[in-house]
Amino acid sequence: MAVVDQGSKAHASSGVTQITPTSEACGSAATAGVDSSAAGFTIQVKDVPIGRVLSRQVADRIANQIRQALPVLETKPERLTPSLSQHQAAAQVDGKTVFVLSEPAQSAVPKDAPPALQATQWVNNLRLAFGAAPLDPSQVHMVAEGLGETNQTFGGIASWYGPYFHGRQTATGETFNQHALTAAHKTLPFGTYLKVRNQLNGKTVVVRINDRGPYIGDRSLDLSYAAAQCLGSDAVGVIPYQATILAPGFPHAWRENVVAKLP
């Protein structure tokens, strides 16, 4: 393991874990790219950037934690998940902590995001480094927000909107952010969470209703650009979709179907 300052060519003799200076994602849940020109320190495992922090001391500590967990990561990378703790961003394998982020990770995830979301990009990058598939973004979002599926579903045609509206005011009064996982619907209450499935490829995403529309043709849902990227619909424009209304529960388990128990 080695700590490499910006521009340094030093390498670790072990080649297992390196820290190099640096600076997104299917919304806030995908793997995160690393900007090598930005300030900070990026932890790399097997040449895969895992995540970035501003403090070298914190980077050293996290790298050491990951190195100590290498035996279990080598054999069970698919069991690596964010911790469900509401107090700290961390990762675990079968209940054993792999790393803890003592300061907000430098990524696309908002600093006030739930801890599980803050740790997700790191977890997905680490899973990829050891050959495991990344966590399903919808599953991550539901666990982090404590959401569960109801039996209320509907479908139709979904479009997306982005750059032209970015920075403008939505119907709720908040500023539209094309990189956030949101959507517009004509009648659903603001703040409603939906799990949206692209019927063409099976991809899903969790969005929050914060705007009204769409008002073109037979379209019934207008997704943010980030949500469209998650669904793979940013290129085709419109897709048939199926949506499930989500309700508040509490983080329960990493499962395929039931993610949170409802009250």
The tokens describing 172, both together, are 């709720």
B/e letters for 48-80, b = 16+ CB within 10 Å, e = fewer, are ebbbbbeeeebbbebbebbeebeeebeeebebb
- The domains of the chain are located at 2-135, 142-251
Which DSSP string do the residues of 53-98 spell out, in sequence order? ES-HHHHHHHHHHHHHTHHHHHH-GGGEEE---SS-EEEEETTEEE
C-alpha–C-alpha distance, residues 69 and 169, integer Å: 46
E strands, the chain, where? 2-3, 17-21, 41-45, 48-53, 80-82, 89-93, 96-101, 147-161, 182-184, 193-198, 204-211, 219-224, 239-248, 250-251, 260-261
17 neighbors 1 (Cβ within 8 angstroms): yes
Which DSSP string do the residues of 159-174 spell out, in sequence order? EEE-TTTTTSB-TTSS
Task: Tell me the sheet residues that pair with 30.
Answer: none
For 142-251, CATH gives 2.40.40.10
Collapsed DSSP state (helix, strand, coil) of residue 112: coil
99 neighbors 69 (Cβ within 8 angstroms): yes
* Residue recorded with tokens 């650009």: 225
Per-residue confidence in pLDDT tens, the chain, 263 aa? 333 443 444 333 333 444 444 333 454 444 445 455 556 888 999 989 888 888 888 889 999 999 999 999 999 999 998 876 667 788 989 888 999 987 655 555 556 666 777 788 889 999 999 999 988 878 878 877 778 888 899 999 999 999 999 999 999 999 999 999 999 999 999 999 999 999 999 999 999 999 999 999 999 999 999 999 999 999 999 999 999 999 887 554 444 443 434 33
Tell me, yes or no, if the pTM score tops 0.85. Answer: no
